[in-house]
Amino acid sequence: MKNFILHIFKFSITVVFVQLIILVLSYSVTKFPYYFDNYSIGYVNFKDVDLSFFGDSHSEYGFNDKVISKLLNNNTRNISLSGNTLYNNILVLEKVLFFNPNIIVNLSIGNHNVVESYFLNGYEVDQEIKRWFSYYNSRETLYLFQKYPKEFLKGFFGIISTIGIETYGFSEGVSRMGVLMDSNIERTRISQNYFNSNPMWLNKLTTVIKEYPNTKFKIIRVPVHDDVFSEEQFYLSIIEKITEFDNVDFQDYQNLDLKDHDFRDFTHLSKSGAEKLSEEYFRRN
């Protein structure tokens, strides 16, 4: 029995040792200037990208980077990802700008984003920490540890599964796929469960904007169906704060002439909607 207990102790030490190696690896892979494009199944170097889109599923479904690349004759990449919070998008943005400050940044901020506060409200914090730990600075790490110690430890010891594609960055390339976009999926109304406004993402974004004064930032509003459009006053007040900076423009596509079939559901565009939005983006830029 003594040997058995000793065995468990030695194993625990090994776990801590392996976790340290994983941490080092996790930090190292964030220093690679690539993300994985699942559509073309290959790595894309941020340094080769001229124009980029950041955001959640709204912009992921909204902009067809293949169409825009062709129209603008450049390398446009839609790096948006479903479920990504605005805060996490800014973390990715920071990394991309570190490698390529000349990139043109299109950051999708919708009405639903300005009131989100995932970083604060405890929603799947362990999952968030697991995935984004190596992106956090010391202030953010300390904040999360103090506020969510249990979830923090769970996320911290779970970093192993996020090394690789997820830490590099990842894009499904859904707007380019014609698979589910054209199918007749029932449109369901998304319940708008707003939390109290959280200024953390705004502070983070303005810090990044200030840090890269020569980079061109465009804040993009991807259209949503009129039936779910809300929170307009608050949204505009936030956008006003961001566009105070000289290197930031606001491009609003909410009034783009879209028919019902251009929407996949109330908040996401279909393939035809994405093409219309991408062409409109070209016309305005």
Partner 1 sequence: MVVYFGLFIFDIMLFNSIEFLLFLPIVFVLYWFVFNKNLKHQNLLILFSSYVFYGWWDYRFLSLIFLSTIVDYIIGLNIPKQDSEKKQKLLLWCSVLFNLSVLGFFKYYNFFVDSWIDLFSSVGYEIKSVWTLNIILPVGISFYTFQTMSYTIDIYRKKLEPTKDFISFASFVSFFPQLVAGPIERASNLLPQILQKREFKYEQGVQGLRLILWGMFKKVVIADSLSPLVNEIFRDYELLNGGTLWLGAIYFAFQIYCDFSGYSDIAIGTSKLFGFELMSNFKFPYFSRNIGEFWRRWHISLSTWFRDYLYIPLGGSKLGKWKSIRNIFIIFLVSGLWHGANWTFIFWGLFHSILFLPSFIFNTNRKYTTSIIAENTILPSPKEFLQVGITFGLVTIGWVFFRSETIVDSFNYLNHMIFDVSIPNKYRSELISVVVFIFIEYLIRKDERLNLKLFKNHLFNYILYAVILLFIISNFYEKSDFIYFQF
Task: Give the C-alpha distances (Å, rounded to integers) separating 233 from 111, 126, 146, 230, 278.
Answer: 10, 33, 34, 9, 26
* 3-state SS, one letter per residue, for 237-283: HHHHHHCCCCCEEEEECCCCCCCHHHECCCCCECHHHHHHHHHHHHH
Q: Which of 23, 71, 72, 165 binds partner 1 (CB under 8 A)?
A: 165
Distance CA 29, CA 173 (A): 22
Distance CA 172, CA 103 (A): 21
Distance of closest approach, residue 164 Cβ to partner 1, in angstroms: 9
**66, 92, 70, 68: which is closest to 81 by C-alpha?**
92
The amino acid at residue 158 is G
CA dihedral 84, 89, 91, 92 (to 10 degrees): 100
**68, 280, 144: which is closest to 80 by C-alpha?**
68
Distance of closest approach, residue 232 Cβ to partner 1, in angstroms: 34
Distance of closest approach, residue 183 Cβ to partner 1, in angstroms: 5
Residue 160 binds partner 1, judged by CB under 8 A: yes
Residue 3 binds partner 1, judged by CB under 8 A: yes
Residue 192 binds partner 1, judged by CB under 8 A: no
Interface stretch with partner 1, choices 89-97, 141-149, 178-186, 227-235 (CB under 8 A): 178-186
Interface stretch with partner 1, choices 27-35, 79-87, 174-182, 188-196 (CB under 8 A): 174-182
The interface mask with partner 1, positions 31-70, x = CB under 8 A, is -------x--------------------------------
Residue 8 binds partner 1, judged by CB under 8 A: yes
Residue 127 binds partner 1, judged by CB under 8 A: yes
Q: Which of 97, 103, 109, 159 binds partner 1 (CB under 8 A)?
A: 159
Residue 18 binds partner 1, judged by CB under 8 A: yes
Per DSSP, helices labelled H in the chain are 2-29, 57-62, 65-72, 86-99, 118-121, 125-132, 138-147, 149-156, 165-168, 200-211, 232-242, 271-284
**223, 222, 221, 217: which is closest to 243 by C-alpha?**
217
For partner 1, give the closer residue by CB, 38 or 230: 38
Q: Which of 147, 180, 211, 232 binds partner 1 (CB under 8 A)?
A: 180
Residue 188 binds partner 1, judged by CB under 8 A: no
Residue 237 binds partner 1, judged by CB under 8 A: no
Distance CA 219, CA 203 (A): 15
Distance of closest approach, residue 177 Cβ to partner 1, in angstroms: 7
Residue 183 binds partner 1, judged by CB under 8 A: yes
Degrees, nearest 5: CA angle 124-128-131: 140
Q: Which of 145, 157, 194, 250 binds partner 1 (CB under 8 A)?
A: 157
Q: Which of 10, 147, 189, 241 binds partner 1 (CB under 8 A)?
A: 10
List residues near partner 1 by CB under 8 A: 1, 3-4, 7-8, 10-11, 14-15, 17-19, 22, 38, 126-127, 130, 154, 157-162, 165, 177, 179-180, 183, 185
